[in-house]
Amino acid sequence: MILRRNIKGLKVKVPIRGRKRNYIYFDNAASTPALISVINELYDYLDWYSGVHRGTGYKSLVSSRIYDDAHDIIGRFVGADSVRDTVIMVKNTSEAINKLSYRLQLNPADVVITTDMEHHSNDLPWRARARVEYASIDRQGRLDTESLKRHLKSNYPRTKLLAVCGASNVTGHVNDVHLLARMAHEYGCPILVDGAQLVPHQHFDMKPHNDTAHIDYLAFSGHKIYSPFGSGVLIGPRNTFAGGPPEYPGGGTVKLVMTDKVFWADPPDRDEAGSPNVIGTYALARTLMYLDRLGMDKLGRYEQELTDYALDQLQQVKGITIYGSKPRVGVISFNLADLPHALLGAILCFDAGMGVRTGCFCAQKYVRQLLGLAESDHYLELYDSGRMAKIPGMVRVSLAAYNTREEVDELVRWLKHIAAHPHKYRRAYRFAASQGGYWPIDKKIDADLSNLIRIDAGF
Ligand SMILES: Cc1ncc(COP(=O)(O)O)c(C=O)c1O
């Protein structure tokens, strides 16, 4: 598989009870590994690295051109309009959404509609700026479009934005964002798609401005699409960002500064305060060019087949409960009988050599609803006593287009084994609040971990 050969770090081995085992990474929804080819390109480009926009000299001219062109490449990858839209480089999706929440210049009486299936990053920023209403979800974790319609209707014309995820980071459930765009536009309301979990997994097209299915604003993170170099993206109409001051004024955001007057720069400079992340932006553009050459449709189809295979296999594990429903990307959250999620995550780490994620995945409301739990004071007690990992949650495996059926088979083998011998593992681990979860009762683990950090990772 071409992509797999280009993934950095797949040969890493981790210590498992005295032996070394190939690490299997199933936490791609958190961050994906980097591409070897892009790392090599970065290495070469670093000969030319320089400050941008405000320098003279060839290196600055070359770097400025590369940095500016990278914006266009990133915009093209998702079908942004090269004239009417602007591509603003930020750190990640969270920063992108926070920036938009500021730049829309909302009043507290304005309404932003979001949903009960959002990551905190597409919920909390809005709470700080407007009255937020939440479209509900059904028992499978799918957005209830009737509920959304009711919110759009009853708040017309006060709704300033519909903010919705392209795909959930808990269930992987994919929203039909173009249908939602049509619904929002019918009520004169623009749409933001939080593309953090969708753009890396499917071909994404914002569609032309004159199409009612057009996506007005899009946010996504480089580190979730094979480019972990500190860059994220906010795309939207230039008009939105051509008015008013940015939330971070400073170097690069202005054309002229007088004692009592400031003339702001045009987009995107106005919203990229200070020296920008040239390296991260270059790396993201090169990564997207590479993915474009492989074909996002093709990668998406492969991931879909792998996801279907994983779901089929996982369903055969005794005692498993898998949350969510299709259509979905390869984000699969589950629980195994009554094993605490944090314990299962620890077993997969220390016994199976796998990286997964456990808990509520920054989507606490959604996870609680999927689990059928109400908010409870008990959570406050667990929070106060540093035992957050005991709050009910799930285990999440998240696939990317370089994962294989063999890796899925290995996961399923382990889950079947754990399901058959829960007491053995319960005895081998203890809850350690200081470690933030379960930890093996095996002193050697701490030494192994220190060695990994010191010797293997060179720290
Ligand atoms: C759906 C979704 N939105 C937003 C975010 C926030 O992304 P970042 O951590 O890159 O800011 C995440 C991260 O997991 C996510 O899954």
Q: What is the DSSP string of 148-206?
A: HHHHHHHTTTTEEEEEEESB-TTT-BBP-HHHHHHHHHHTT--EEEE-TTTTTTS----
CA distance 180 to 148: 9
| pLDDT, tens digit, 9 for 90 and up, residues 131-151 | 999 999 999 999 999 999 999
Find the length of the chain: 459
**What distance in angstroms lies between residue 219's CA and the mean position of ligand 1's atoms?**
9
Confirm or reject: Cβ of 288 under 6 Å from ligand 1: no
CB atoms closer than 10 angstroms to residue 27 = 16
Q: Closest Cα to residue 400, out of 323, 311, 299?
A: 299
Test site for ligand 1: of 90, 91, 121, 284, most ligand atoms within 8 A of the Cβ: 121
CA distance 324 to 337: 17
pLDDT computed for residue 391 by the predictor: 87
pLDDT band with cut points at 50, 70 and 90 for residue 299? very high
Confirm or reject: Cβ of 119 under 6 Å from ligand 1: yes
pLDDT computed for residue 334 by the predictor: 98
Tell how many helices (H) and how many strands (E) occur in the chain.
16, 19
Catalytic residue flag (residue 349): no
| pLDDT, tens digit, 9 for 90 and up, residues 316-342 | 999 999 999 999 999 999 999 999 999
Nearest ligand 1 atom to the CA of 118 is 1
Q: Which residues touch 337 (CB under 8 Å, ≥6 apart)?
A: 318, 319, 320, 419, 422
Q: Which residues touch 450 (CB under 8 Å, ≥6 apart)?
A: none
Burial degree of 34 (CB within 10 A; 0-12, 13-18, 19+): buried
Instruction: Give the mean pLDDT of 185-192.
Output: 98
| pLDDT, tens digit, 9 for 90 and up, residues 274-295 | 999 999 999 999 999 999 999 9
CB under 8 Å, gap of 24 or more: what pairs does 130-135 form? 130/101, 130/106, 130/160
pLDDT band with cut points at 50, 70 and 90 for residue 444? confident
**What distance in angstroms lies between residue 29's CA and the mean position of ligand 1's atoms?**
8
pLDDT computed for residue 18 by the predictor: 83
Instruction: Give the mean pLDDT of 141-165.
Output: 98
Q: What is the DSSP string of 355-399?
A: E-EEE-TT-HHHHHHHHT----HHHHHHHHTT-GGGSS-EEEEE-
Q: Are 145 and 161 in contact (CB under 8 A)?
A: no
Instruction: Give the mean pLDDT of 178-197.
Output: 98
What distances in angstroms separate CA 383 from CA 252, 378, 389, one per listed residue? 42, 9, 9
CA distance 353 to 357: 13
pLDDT band with cut points at 50, 70 and 90 for residue 253? very high
pLDDT band with cut points at 50, 70 and 90 for residue 381? confident
Confirm or reject: Cβ of 93 under 6 Å from ligand 1: yes
CA distance 252 to 259: 17
Instruction: Give the mean pLDDT of 167-180.
Output: 98
**What distance in angstroms lies between residue 431's CA and the mean position of ligand 1's atoms?**
28
Confirm or reject: Cβ of 227 under 6 Å from ligand 1: no
Q: Closest Cα to residue 219, out of 115, 83, 119?
A: 119
Cα dihedral 326, 119, 197, 324 in deg (nearest 10): -20
pLDDT band with cut points at 50, 70 and 90 for residue 101? very high
pLDDT computed for residue 54 by the predictor: 82
Instruction: Give the mean pLDDT of 19-40.
Output: 97
Confirm or reject: Cβ of 194 under 6 Å from ligand 1: yes
Residue 306: pLDDT above 80? Answer: yes
Q: Where are the domains of the chain?
A: 2-30+296-456, 38-293
Q: Closest Cα to residue 413, out of 424, 421, 403?
A: 421
**Level-2 CATH architecture, domain 2-30+296-456:** Alpha-Beta Complex (3.90)
pLDDT computed for residue 310 by the predictor: 98
Q: Determine the topology of domain 38-293 in CATH.
A: Aspartate Aminotransferase; domain 2 (3.40.640)
pLDDT computed for residue 1 by the predictor: 81
Test site for ligand 1: of 93, 122, 193, most ligand atoms within 8 A of the Cβ: 93
Residue 380: pLDDT above 90? Answer: no
